Chain A
Amino acid sequence: AQSVTQLDSHVSVSEGTPVLLRCNYSSSYSPSLFWYVQHPNKGLQLLLKYTSAATLVKGINGFEAEFKKSETSFHLTKPSAHMSDAAEYFCVVSDLPFSGGYQKVTFGIGTKLQVIP
């Protein structure tokens, strides 16, 4: 079974402080994991992805995520929040159950990040 749980629907941080957006996943196979960001009235933009290489993944705009298999987590972090980071963030799991088969993709419900000046 494949699922994604974003543990916080809303996160509020002050500008310049660290950001932590939490994501837990389940997959019966070796999944790929992604974080996407969606600004109001804009499309989804890829922040970063994990595909079984390095467990610490660096993305755009200073974001990072660490894949922890033992905890089935893929939390998104940034050392210092900027006003422009205010947006909705989606954690995504994708796997291919068997060669030549159907790809399954599941989005989390999203975490709205508010950055306070």
Chain B
Amino acid sequence: ETGVTQSPTHLIKTRGQQVTLRCSSQSGHNTVSWYQQALGQGPQFIFQYYREEENGRGNFPPRFSGLQFPNYSSELNVNALELDDSALYLCASSEDRLETQYFGPGTRLLVL
């Protein structure tokens, strides 16, 4: 069974640019959640996708958007990058909405 994978592992962007992060969910999982973990902080919930529909959203602006595909993999898009967007972005998949989440290794984004 393949676990949750994320790409890329590291990324450097400049302010104002756009970025797309990718996540492949664990086999059999229909729910994907995205989190932002700033240095020294706990992960903050960005949003969740369940069967290709957004199923929950945290306190993040609309420039954070996402997609889930029919194979349940997912993308996180961030437009108009700001310096404070520098963080570790974690993806987690689960069998269903309230089931245990299994996390990928994360993508570390640095915005200069």
- Residues in A lying within 8 Å of B, measured CB to CB: 32, 34, 36, 42-46, 49, 51, 90, 94-96, 102-110
Whether the pair B105, A104 counts as a contact (CB closer than 8 A) is: no
Cβ–Cβ < 8 Å partners of B98 in chain A: 32, 51, 94-96, 103
Q: Which residue of B lies closest to A31 (CB)?
A: B98
Whether the pair B48, A103 counts as a contact (CB closer than 8 A) is: yes
Whether the pair B97, A103 counts as a contact (CB closer than 8 A) is: yes
Whether the pair B42, A108 counts as a contact (CB closer than 8 A) is: yes
Chain A at the B interface: SS class: strand
- 18 residue pairs from A and B, CB less than 8 Å apart: A32-B98, A34-B101, A36-B103, A43-B90, A43-B104, A44-B43, A44-B103, A90-B42, A94-B98, A96-B98, A103-B56, A103-B97, A105-B33, A105-B56, A106-B45, A107-B35, A109-B41, A110-B42
Given contacts A42-B105, A102-B55, contact A34 B100 (CB under 8 A): yes
Interface string of B36-63 (1 = CB under 8 A from A): 0000011111001010000111000000
Chain B at the A interface: SS class: strand
Cβ–Cβ < 8 Å partners of B102 in chain A: 46
Q: In the complex, which residues 76-106 of chain B have their Cβ closer than 8 Å to any Cβ of chain A? A: 90, 92, 97-98, 100-106
What is the CA–CA distance of A107 and B92 in the complex, to the nearest angstrom? 13
